[in-house]
Amino acid sequence: MRLEQLVAARLSRKLERDLPRSAARRLVMVGAVLRGGLPLRRPGLPVEAGWVLEVLVDRARLGPRRADAAFAMSQRDILYQDDALLAVAKLAGVPTVPTADTSRPSLVRAVQSWLTARGERPYLAVHQRLDRETSGVVLFARASRANAALAGAFAHRQIEKTYVALTARPAQPPEDRFRAASPIEGRPAVTDVAVVRRLRGGLLVEARPRTGRKHQVRIHLARAGLPILGDERHGGEHGGRAARLMLHAQSLELDHPISGKRLRLECPVPEDFRAALAALS
């Protein structure tokens, strides 16, 4: 069993709540899981029989159960809001839209509950989705008069998307800037990539997709020899240096669908991303 699995399973029973594995990974990454008084910072470390582990947990900081995530929304999660648009900061581990499992939380349900609690109309039109393990900015239309224009802007690639990712450090250093243009599932796909920082244990890169294929940034970086840490599906290392998929939707830039004013919506990188970045430095 991996260390993160053991921590998630034992703490879930001890705390009588459903602790996601992503939360267990974060506990390991920040040094809260000790053996012999020393922190074990490798979530993927195989656990051996006879180990005695100590886990330092602040119940208050763990927050509510995932099933109650809709009630955890607060004003600090709102990146931009007016009568037509709403931009929010999505946490890693939460799906953007509801799934077939009605008991599972989603960003859409969380935002609708937050709006309802404030006495506001919970209208939300979804034109953008982030992978469950990806964090960052998600934009909704919150009025029907803005819906068609926002849908058109996404469909015609008029919205500038910027992601940041932590990747493995390849044997052959990449160029500071390059364009990935290999097709995905037979369809054209283009991503512009820039190396932001060359770290001791990896790279911090910026990716700007010019098309909108599923998993585009993940696939193009993997094909360039730069798999994102935590992306097991596309060859990325999972465990030791990655608390989750280290991909963050940092910003969206677009013309407001009603006023035409140019907007830049930014979402700071979360704590687990900063911790992984520090570990690679």
Whether residue 153 is predicted with pLDDT greater than 70 in this model: the reply is yes
- pLDDT tens for 98-126 read 876 666 788 998 898 889 888 888 899 99
Whether residue 274 is predicted with pLDDT greater than 60 in this model: the reply is yes
User: Same domain, yes or no, for 32 and 16?
Assistant: yes
- pLDDT tens for 87-100 read 999 988 888 998 76
Whether residue 248 is predicted with pLDDT greater than 90 in this model: the reply is yes
Average pLDDT over residues 21-27: 83
pLDDT score, position 234: 82
pLDDT score, position 269: 95
pLDDT score, position 122: 83
Q: How far apart are CA 63 and CA 103, in angstroms?
A: 18
Taking CA atoms, 254 is separated from 14, 150, 162, 258, in Å, by 47, 9, 12, 12
User: Same domain, yes or no, for 107 and 242?
Assistant: yes
User: Same domain, yes or no, for 58 and 75?
Assistant: no
Q: Residue 24 — pLDDT band, cuts 50, 70, 90?
A: confident
Query: Could you tell me whether strands 135-141 and 247-255 are parallel, antiparallel, or unpaired per DSSP bridges?
Result: parallel
Sequence-distant contacts of 203-206: CB under 8 A, at least 24 apart? 203/166, 203/167, 203/168, 203/169, 203/174, 204/164, 204/165, 204/166, 204/277, 204/280, 205/164, 205/165, 205/166, 205/167, 206/162, 206/163, 206/164, 206/250
pLDDT score, position 17: 65
User: Same domain, yes or no, for 202 and 243?
Assistant: yes
User: Same domain, yes or no, for 183 and 54?
Assistant: no
- The CATH number covering residue 137 comes to 3.30.2350.10
Q: Are 250 and 267 contacting, i.e. CB atoms less than 8 angstroms apart?
A: yes
Structurally, the chain folds into a number of domains equal to 2
Q: Residue 257 — pLDDT band, cuts 50, 70, 90?
A: very high
pLDDT score, position 168: 86
> Taking phi first (over 0 means left), then psi (-120 to 50 degrees means alpha), and beta for anything else, what does residue 32 get?
alpha
User: Which of the two residues, 68 and 77, has the higher pLDDT score?
Assistant: 77
Boundary residue ending a domain (30, 62, 94)? 62
- The CATH number covering residue 11 comes to 3.10.290
User: Which of the two residues, 259 and 102, has the higher pLDDT score?
Assistant: 259
User: Same domain, yes or no, for 135 and 49?
Assistant: no
Minimum mean pLDDT range among 13-17, 192-196, 266-270: 13-17
pLDDT score, position 67: 41
Average pLDDT over residues 51-56: 92
- What range does the domain containing 47 cover? 3-62
Structure letter (DSSP) for residue 261: -
Whether residue 69 is predicted with pLDDT greater than 60 in this model: the reply is no
Q: How far apart are CA 230 and CA 239, in angstroms?
A: 7
pLDDT score, position 15: 72
- pLDDT tens for 179-191 read 999 999 999 999 9
Q: How far apart are CA 276 and CA 281, in angstroms?
A: 9
Q: How far apart are CA 8 and CA 168, in angstroms?
A: 26
User: Same domain, yes or no, for 212 and 232?
Assistant: yes
User: Which of the two residues, 235 and 1, has the higher pLDDT score?
Assistant: 1
Mind giving me the DSSP string for 193-251?
EEEEEE-SS-EEEEEEESS--TTHHHHHHHHTT-PBTT-GGGT---BTTBSS--EEEEE
Query: Could you tell me whether strands 247-255 and 160-167 are parallel, antiparallel, or unpaired per DSSP bridges?
Result: antiparallel
User: Same domain, yes or no, for 21 and 123?
Assistant: no
User: Same domain, yes or no, for 136 and 81?
Assistant: yes
pLDDT score, position 136: 96
pLDDT score, position 54: 92
- Residue 279 exposed, middle or buried by CB count within 10 Å (0-12, 13-18, 19+): buried
Whether residue 58 is predicted with pLDDT greater than 90 in this model: the reply is no
User: Which of the two residues, 269 and 238, has the higher pLDDT score?
Assistant: 269
On average, the pLDDT of the chain sits at 87
pLDDT score, position 65: 45
Boundary residue ending a domain (34, 62, 90)? 62
Whether residue 167 is predicted with pLDDT greater than 90 in this model: the reply is yes
User: Same domain, yes or no, for 159 and 238?
Assistant: yes
Tokens of 139: 């934009």
- What percent helix, strand, coil does the chain show, rounded to 5? 30, 25, 45
User: Same domain, yes or no, for 30 and 95?
Assistant: no
Query: Could you tell me whether strands 177-180 and 125-126 are parallel, antiparallel, or unpaired per DSSP bridges?
Result: unpaired
Tokens of 268: 């700071």
User: Same domain, yes or no, for 125 and 166?
Assistant: yes
- The percentage of the chain sitting over the pLDDT mark of 70, rounded to a whole number, equals 90
Boundary residue ending a domain (22, 43, 62)? 62
